[in-house]
Structure 1
Amino acid sequence: MRLFSFFFCLLLPLSAHAACEGRDLRLDMTAEQHQQLDEAVSQILFPEGNHWIARKGDTVLHLIGTLHTNDERMGEVIERLSPTLSEADAFYFEITQDQMEAFQKDLEKDFSPVLITSGPTLIDLMGEEDWAVFSAALAERGIPDWMAAKMRPWFLSMMLGLPPCLMTTPDADRGMDKRLSELAEAKGIPQYSLERVEDVMNMFDSHPIEEQVQSLVRLAGALQAGDDHLITMANAYLEEKHAEILQLAKLQGLEASGLTPEEFDAEWKGFEDQLLVQRNANWMEQILDIKDQTIVIAVGAGHLSDEYGLLNQLQQAGYTLTRAPF
């Protein structure tokens, strides 16, 4: 989600010169693993396509699935999309760049929204043995343990999901969202948010902190991402296989977690409900209010597919869907 890239930007060092390098994990999968992945993807509605057009009467919606981290290959995509998207009346993002920057300024003055401001720290809630594992992983991402101990569990799960190489990569946050925002700004097209940063943070904090910590510990192995994960995600994204990204993460997460399939499935459903299902439902309330305009809706590609995906929900609402060039 867009919030991921924002938070890691707060922690980027001033001198960043390295770049992420890795190997596509799909190249080393066994035939059995490929079959498992293919079967999982085959059960998903609208599993592919980063550009879809939804039409209903005089309303035209260009849905663009985005990746929040940078990849130089995106430049060619923007060049191809620019003539079509420049005709839009407005762009809608998860959260606009202006609102993210405004929130960043507020957070620079007061970092408490992502901190545990009272009660026990994560060391107390987690225990020394589990904390040792987490603090080592967070140290690789430039977060000292004394600081991490006071951070909210959902914030740390985000940090663990970012490969350490991103912390020293120039323009790491210049993903498809930011590039599309630059396009809209250059063309003088209005930009709007589908949600507020505060609303997303409140949603993450809706469960008691003890439950958040338990989930964090159970998924410790599954949460951590490395260079290979980033390269795999970027390649699959540019192949327009957004459902494959999520299903691969799910299969690899199960293996890394050490949990039983039933235990992991329960954790995954919780993640899916919070990060995708609830937010999609909230966004749809705004999207369905759009009438007689041509609009670009640019959101993380993972929000497009499956029953709860924006594409299926628009089809159910009477829109005609057409996959378009990306």
Structure 2
Amino acid sequence: MRIFLLLLSMLLPVSAYAACEGRDLMQDLSPASKAEFDATLATLPFPEGNHWIATKDQTTLHIIGTLHLNFPQMDAIVDRLAPTLKNADAFYFEVTKDELDSWEKRLAADPSPVLITSGPTLVDLLPEEDWADLSTILAERGIPSWMAAKMRPWFLGMMLALPTCILQTPQPEFGLDTRLTALAKEHGIAQHSLESIDDLMRLFNRYPLEDQAKSLARMTATFQQGEDQITTMANSYFNERHAEVLLFGRLFGRELAGLPEDEFEEEWVKIEQSLLVERNNSWMQRILAIEDQTAVIAVGAAHLGDTYGLLNQLQTAGYTLTRAPF
């Protein structure tokens, strides 16, 4: 998410531009995982398309699947979308930039939502072998272990999921949603948040630190090949095959983790439930309250597909869905 990229860019030193030049890992799936990938993908509702128009009565919603990372291809995407979206009555983002800026000021005074400010740190919470494994990855990324030890486990996990090439990119948070924020501001269009950052922090911190640390240790192996994973994700996104991203992440992560399948699935379902299902359900309450106007809903593309996705929920609520140019 944009919020965490901003935080990371403040916490970590940024060197010269280092573009991600990984390779696409889709062909690395084992035959069994590839068969599962194809079979599952065929069952998912709305697996493709980064721009959909949902209409019902006098309400029109432009659903835009964004990528929160900075890629040069996004300039052309905004140029194509601008003639249509500049006429909207309102833009809805996960969290608006104004709210994010306000929260950053509060975070400077109280970093406890993302850092362990008292009590045991990760050095104390993790078994010695698990901390050694994490320390190896931290050293490869140039991240001081003393800094990582004070991060809340969910926050450290999100950071390690991003390869160094992303963190070293100028303005790594300047993704599509940030560009669309600028478009809305340019045309004086109202901007709204679908959730509050405080609610999001409560969601991430609802599990005890001990449980978060255990989950982090179990998923450590999935932080490898980060540059290749980012390239794979970006390729699927720019080809408008957003459902592939999550499905590939699940199957490839299961192969990397080296965990019993039931243990890996337990961790994955927990992440999916928190980051996608619950947030989508909450956002839908706000989205369904939009009436008699044209609005843009710009959220991470992972929120669009599957049965719990915004597109399927809108169709279930009686909206007519039409795929639009992106």
Which interval holds the TM-score relative to the shorter structure? Answer: over 0.9
2:86 matched to 1:86?
A: yes
Name the counterpart of 1:191: 191
Unmatched 5+ stretches in structure 1 = none
Counterpart for residue 100 of structure 2 = 100
The 5 Å alignment of 1:202-281 reads 202-224=202-224, 226-281=226-281
Instruction: Determine whether 1:151 maps to 2:154.
Output: no
Shift of residue 41, structure 1, vs aligned partner = 1.2
Structure 1 segment 1-326 matched on structure 2, within 5 A: 1-29=1-29, 33-224=33-224, 226-326=226-326
Q: Deviations over 1:221-275 (max 9, x none)?
A: 1244511111111111010111100000001110011112222111111010000
What amino acid is the match of 2:10?
A: L
Q: Is the 8 A contact 2:2 2:173 kept in 1?
A: no
Answer whether contact 1:215 1:267 (CA < 8 A) is retained: yes
Q: CA–CA distance in 1 between the matches of 2:167 and 2:223?
A: 17
Q: 3-state SS of the aligned residue for 2:6? A: helix
- Distance in 1 of aligned mates of 2:160 and 2:208: 20
Q: How much does 1:15 deviate?
A: 4.2
Cα distance per residue 1:170-191 (max 9 Å; x no partner): 1221111111111111111111
Deviation readout 1:190-219 (Å, 9 max, x if unpaired) = 111111112111101111111111111111
Separation in 1, partners of 2:254, 2:12: 30
Aligned-CA RMSD value = 1.6
Kept after mapping to 2: 8 A contact 1:160/1:225: no
Conserved 8 A contact 1:219-1:257 = yes
Q: Please, which moves more after superposition, 32-41 or 127-136?
A: 32-41
Query: Structure 1 residues 63-72 or 99-108, which shifts more?
Result: 99-108
> Percent of aligned positions with the same letter in both sequences?
56
Rounded to whole Å, the distance in 1 between the matches of 2:269 and 2:33 is 22
5+ unaligned residues in a row in structure 2: which ranges? Answer: none
Q: Deviations over 1:107-147 (max 9, x none)?
A: 23332321222322111110221111112323344431112
The 3-state SS of whatever aligns with 1:52 is strand
Taking structure 2 as the reference length, the TM-score comes to 0.95
> Hey, what's the Cα distance between the residues in 1 that align with 2:15 and 2:261?
43
**Deviation at residue 44 of structure 1 after TM alignment:** 1.3
Q: Secondary structure of the equivalent of 1:64?
A: strand
Worse-superposed segment, 286-295 or 216-225: 216-225
SS at match of 2:20: coil
Shift of 1:5: 2.1
Structure 1 stretch 136-145 or stretch 37-46: which is displaced more? 136-145
Using the TM superposition, name which of 191-200 and 21-30 deviates more.
21-30
The farther-off stretch of 239-248 and 189-198 is 189-198
Query: Are the equivalent residues in 1 in contact too, given 2:67–2:301 (CA < 8 A)?
Result: yes
Instruction: Verify the 8 A CA contact 2:91 2:191 in the aligned structure 1.
Output: yes
Alpha-carbon distance in structure 2 between the residues aligned to 1:325 and 1:264 = 37
- The alignment covers a number of residue pairs equal to 326
Quote the Cα distance in structure 1 between the aligned partners of 2:186 and 2:176: 15
Instruction: Please list the CA deviations of residues 266-314 of structure 1 after superposition, one character each: whole Å capped at 9, or x if unmatched.
Output: 1111010000011011111111111101000000000011111111111
Report if aligned partners of 2:2, 2:69 keep a CA contact under 8 Å in 1.
no
In the aligned structure 1, how far is the partner of 2:57 from the partner of 2:323?
A: 18
What is the CA distance between 1:58 and its match in structure 2?
Answer: 0.3
User: What SS does structure 2 have at the residue aligned with 1:296?
Assistant: strand
Kept in 2: contact 1:2–1:94 (CA 8 A): no
Query: Does the CA-based 8 Å contact 1:6-1:100 persist in structure 2?
Result: no
Q: TM-score, normalised by structure 1?
A: 0.95
Please tell me the residue identity of whatever aligns with 2:114. Answer: V
